[in-house]
């Protein structure tokens, strides 16, 4: 019988995932767990320390997006087995993207693997295509501003003194750069890809894999499940194109209709708008702490979902935890949990033309905005922190 008291996390792989890991690890420390952070960039320099830390029956790994579980050479203990597999260490992997991004890892046999998905439709996908892998729902959570001693800052800027009326933190990828993934192919393929994208523009509530399957089956009625998985993995660029398209359309609709939007992230200079004076560029890639600082100085934190149709995004909960009003397109999960105008504010991708009026109305009612801020802050503090997610994971440990 196992008694897990030691946890391995990874850092310096993907910055945002490192931030999530540190917030979660802080909670596990308070529960009495010993924590080891493996520095992915240090590679072999950390392997001896890791080897001494691992003990079968006492240690588990918690990671995101298969970091540390993707055949990294410096984590191999034998020619074919990782140090975790050879020592019978349970691994818990949280996927913050659609599982189709991880077809290679999921299709391989990773011993003692349990997967957590951030969208309930992703759970259905896992149960359909990867039946042998235990899979559970674990929504994303919001980020705090923490110091080196893991103390949380609660020194908030008052609503009326916040610098940014509408802020959006995300990179913008120039669409022609994404199109390079398929413009080199035959016209038949190019037309096929654009047909899927045009369908999603008209049906923005449709999950990506569902739309892709519809068109693949139209062309290949006898396609097998394994062939479908391979098709999905081969069309990943459609996900990036689709989410970027709607990200751009949302911001463009606002700025071209008189709403000033402060955008934080790379690439926004490539978004063509009629009123560039309303698009306030703060171009560069930001780390997670900088993003939190910006949200703490923002009245309305704009979000477009990365096509999670039955899940959430950390931008929503981070806004709530840092006393900004989260303005987001919806999902089944979000609309089950939250009330429009009480917890946050919803807009519809199908009706972007109404968004500018909605934003101006929100800014024109500061008393209502403050009520939303205080209510959503208290609720997220109780339900949507990484400490909450650590408590959920503890049930499996």
What would the 3-class secondary structure string for 8-38 be? EEEECCCHHHHHHHHHHHHHHHHCCCEEEEE
Sign, CA dihedral 140-365-298-377, equals negative
- Strand residue runs (E) in 241-354: 261-264, 279-282, 298-303, 325-329, 345-347
Say how far apart CA 326 and CA 349 lie, in whole Å.
Answer: 16
pLDDT tens, position by position, for the chain (397 residues)? 458 999 999 999 999 999 999 999 999 999 999 999 999 999 999 999 999 999 999 999 999 999 999 999 999 998 889 999 999 999 999 999 999 999 999 999 899 999 999 999 999 999 999 999 999 999 999 999 977 666 788 889 999 999 999 999 999 999 999 988 887 789 999 999 999 999 999 999 999 999 999 999 999 999 999 999 999 999 999 999 999 999 999 999 999 999 999 999 999 999 999 999 999 999 788 999 999 999 999 999 999 999 999 999 999 999 999 999 999 999 999 999 999 999 999 999 999 999 999 999 999 999 999 999 999 999 999 999 999 999 999 999 9
pLDDT at 182: 83
DSSP notation for 291-311: HHHHHTTEEEEEE--SS-TTB
Residue with tokens 């100085």: 297
pLDDT at 310: 98
Q: The tokens of 275 are what?
A: 């009123």
Q: What is the pTM of this model?
A: 0.95
**52, exposed or middle or buried, with CB in 10 Å at 0-12, 13-18, 19+?**
exposed
Q: Are 100 and 129 in contact (CB under 8 A)?
A: no
Residues with Cβ within 8 Å of residue 77, at least 6 apart in sequence = 83, 85, 86, 87
Say how far apart CA 249 and CA 4 lie, in whole Å.
Answer: 47
pLDDT at 181: 83
Count of beta carbons in the 10 Å neighbourhood of residue 221: 7
DSSP-derived 3-state class of residue 136: strand
pLDDT at 1: 40
DSSP 262: E
Say how far apart CA 210 and CA 228 lie, in whole Å.
Answer: 11
Q: State phi, psi for 140 to the nearest 5 degrees.
A: -65, 170
pLDDT at 2: 59
pLDDT at 283: 78
pLDDT at 136: 98
**What are the distances in angstroms from CA 126 to CA 8, 311, 337, 345?**
25, 15, 23, 31
Residues with Cβ within 8 Å of residue 165, at least 6 apart in sequence = 260, 262, 298, 299, 300, 363
pLDDT at 184: 79
pLDDT at 138: 98
SS3 content of the chain, % helix, strand, coil (to 5): 50, 15, 35
Buried-state track 240-250, b at ≥16 Cβ within 10 A, e below 16: bbbbbbbbbbb
């Amino acid at each position: 019988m196992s008694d897990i008291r030691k946890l391995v996390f990874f850092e310096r792989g993907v910055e945002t995932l490192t931030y999530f890991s540190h917030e979660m690890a802080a909670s596990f420390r308070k529960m009495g767990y010993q924590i080891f952070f493996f520095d992915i960039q240090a590679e072999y320099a950390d392997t001896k320390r890791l080897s001494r830390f691992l003990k079968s029956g006492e240690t588990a790994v918690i990671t995101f997006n298969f970091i540390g579980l993707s055949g990294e050479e410096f984590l191999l203990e034998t020619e074919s087995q990782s140090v975790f597999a050879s020592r019978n260490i349970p691994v818990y992997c949280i996927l913050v993207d659609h599982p189709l991004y991880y077809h290679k890892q999921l299709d391989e046999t990773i011993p003692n693997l349990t997967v957590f998905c951030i969208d309930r439709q992703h759970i259905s996908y896992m149960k359909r295509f990867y039946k042998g892998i235990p899979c559970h729902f674990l929504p994303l959570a919001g980020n705090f501003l923490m110091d080196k001693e893991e103390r949380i800052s609660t020194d908030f800027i008052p609503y009326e003194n916040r610098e940014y009326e509408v802020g959006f933190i995300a990179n913008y990828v120039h669409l022609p750069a994404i199109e390079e993934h398929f413009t080199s192919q035959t016209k038949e393929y190019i037309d096929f890809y654009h047909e899927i994208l045009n369908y999603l523009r008209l049906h923005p509530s449709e999950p990506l894999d569902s739309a892709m399957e519809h068109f693949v089956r139209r062309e290949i009625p006898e396609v097998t499940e394994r062939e479908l998985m391979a098709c999905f993995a081969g069309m990943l660029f459609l996900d990036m194109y689709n989410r970027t398209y709607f990200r751009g359309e949302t911001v463009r609709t606002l700025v071209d209709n008189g709403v000033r939007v402060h955008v934080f992230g790379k690439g926004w200079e490539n978004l063509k708008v009629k009123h560039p004076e309303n698009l306030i560029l703060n171009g560069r890639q930001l780390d997670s702490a900088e993003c939190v600082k910006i949200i703490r100085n923002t009245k309305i934190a704009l979000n477009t979902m990365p096509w999670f149709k039955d899940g959430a995004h950390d931008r929503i909960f981070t806004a709530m935890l840092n006393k900004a009003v989260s303005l987001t397109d919806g999902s089944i999960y979000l609309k089950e949990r939250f009330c429009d105008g009480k917890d946050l504010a919803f807009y519809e991708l199908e009706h972007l033309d109404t968004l500018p009026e909605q934003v101006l109305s929100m800014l024109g009612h500061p008393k209502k905005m403050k009520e939303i801020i205080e209510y959503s802050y208290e609720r997220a503090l109780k339900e949507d922190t990484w400490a909450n997610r650590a408590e959920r994971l503890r049930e499996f440990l």
